Structure 1
């Protein structure tokens, strides 16, 4: 599925003060992966190695960094084949794997939305009961309707090089497996970012249980507020359980800063939702 077919994005938000501040400042918040609600964000698993592969990879890395001379390899191999030394080597590799996942989770930030494909109506997506329940704290929050193209362009143009593009989430039953020998060989090559492919795969891959979210993810290397165009938001849906005072604040912000944006009250209707535009 291509992002070219996306027209709109929906962002479900809780009724919190930081949301109001973000709207007033015409910004959106990018969160580090480690701060998202899925504990498996950015996780990968490494391929299981045979004993000989573990030793070969380690020696290759040490030689490449000038730790030992090639002529010394046979002697070092004998030492590493001893159980006590091999166990220490396996433990060291385990730490590399943990550091790799930690690096992904603490380096990359995202702003995530639900996609609305061309030919689909916004109403079809705002009717997502689970999204309202999970992300607006039991229908107390709101849903922003973004124009994908305006949002994407403004993130790129108003934030320098900090906005790093976007991609759709791939939903799979199995976690992405990294070939550890290949990973290490790429990582030690000079002037080469050998981790790009697996990083991108880890960031844009989630378990299939999340597939109902139909997520598109914007990417950056910084957590915080990012500027957007005041023309990026096209509609606002107010949850049926929203506090009246908070509702008044939201309406005031949009009437003053975004007068062209349509606002809708959301109400339960059967096992679905009904929308009434505010005049």
Structure 2
């Protein structure tokens, strides 16, 4: 794909992501909002697939075998601006102190000096969320290199419609889980925000434009404050529809993966590289 085609794809995707987020953040009642979300999904994402890249270790193999999903704490993601809160130069720190003490009684006003407030807000905010990342693009060299251990890992395929149905099931008794497309922006466009308004949660779904090649969606779990040493957590999840095996996966690990695929009735594909034209393709494997 040419640079111009890549740019058009990113821009089109950002437009759709912004429309989706606008619906989710609207002030309409939940019934009307749900109707609009379902209509939007049918128009733009019906029968689409999402993908999740994994490295080749025993931990991910166990999660594959047991239909589980790992959600990382916000602090563990690879973007240094992940979830960063920008307060702005003219922020009302006195009001902020009162709000922090109201929300987090473990602090007192004497501890909250202005120069430490930014740090306190960032650390507490990041400790409140777990995230699992998905992508729209299976054929991306950068994704395979960065998130599948240099083509040694694998990629899981999920049906978008099944995923949205499971989201409704997760939120049957509470609304702890949300599913958003990420919006990519120039870092200079990251604005200051009111730390105790809904707009702060936009920081969970905004990333610098340098990451736009990821075409990312995020499953977000708002869990409240957790142990700062907690790296993440696992949840029961839907079974992937297919698994794609990287071209550099070891024979031993590949045998383990295919054994799980056969047991769990998951279709498996191996990567085929057309080196002369730098293209990724896949060939279906027989599960014996």
Say whether the fold is shared (TM-score over 0.5): yes
Aligned counterpart, 2:25 = none
TM-score between both structures, scaled by the size of structure 2: 0.70
Give how far 1:97 is off.
1.6
- Say which SS state the counterpart of residue 131 (structure 2) adopts: strand
Aligned mate of 2:269, from 244, 247, 264: 264
Aligned counterpart, 2:245 = 238
Relative to 1, partners in 2 of residues 1:61 and 1:95: Cα closer, same or farther, differing over 3 Å?
A: closer
Q: Aligned residues, how many?
A: 223
Give how far 1:201 is off.
1.1
- Say which SS state the counterpart of residue 213 (structure 2) adopts: helix
Q: Distance in 1 between matches of 2:250 and 2:202?
A: 40
- The structure having more radius of gyration, on CA atoms, is 1
Aligned counterpart, 1:186 = none
Q: Distance in 1 between matches of 2:124 and 2:154?
A: 33
Q: Which has the higher contact order (CA 8 A, sep 6+)?
A: 1
Q: Quick check: 2:167–2:177 contact (8 Å CA) kept in 1?
A: no
Relative to 1, partners in 2 of residues 1:94 and 1:148: Cα closer, same or farther, differing over 3 Å?
A: farther
Q: Distance in 2 between matches of 1:132 and 1:202?
A: 26
Unaligned segments of structure 2, at least 5 residues: 1-15, 21-40, 102-109, 224-231
Q: Is it true that 1:229 corresponds to 2:238 in the alignment?
A: yes
Relative to 1, partners in 2 of residues 1:241 and 1:162: Cα closer, same or farther, differing over 3 Å?
A: farther
Aligned mate of 1:178, from 185, 188, 192: 192
Q: Quick check: 1:155–1:163 contact (8 Å CA) kept in 2?
A: no
Q: Distance in 1 between matches of 2:242 and 2:96?
A: 57
Q: Deviations over 1:32-80 (max 9, x none)?
A: 110111121101212112xxx75xx527966xx9xxxxxxxxxxxxxxx
Q: Distance in 1 between matches of 2:263 and 2:96?
A: 63
- Say which SS state the counterpart of residue 267 (structure 1) adopts: strand
Aligned mate of 1:21, from 51, 62, 69: 62
Give how far 1:94 is off.
2.9
Q: Quick check: 1:141–1:238 contact (8 Å CA) kept in 2?
A: yes
Unaligned segments of structure 1, at least 5 residues: 66-88, 116-124, 184-193
Q: Quick check: 2:87–2:192 contact (8 Å CA) kept in 1?
A: yes
Moved over 6 A (4+): 59-62
Aligned counterpart, 1:106 = 127
Aligned counterpart, 2:50 = 9
Superposition RMSD on alpha carbons, in Å?
A: 2.5
Aligned mate of 1:136, from 148, 158, 161: 148
Relative to 1, partners in 2 of residues 1:246 and 1:161: Cα closer, same or farther, differing over 3 Å?
A: farther
Q: Distance in 2 between matches of 1:242 and 1:149?
A: 30
Give how far 1:8 is off.
1.2
Aligned counterpart, 2:29 = none
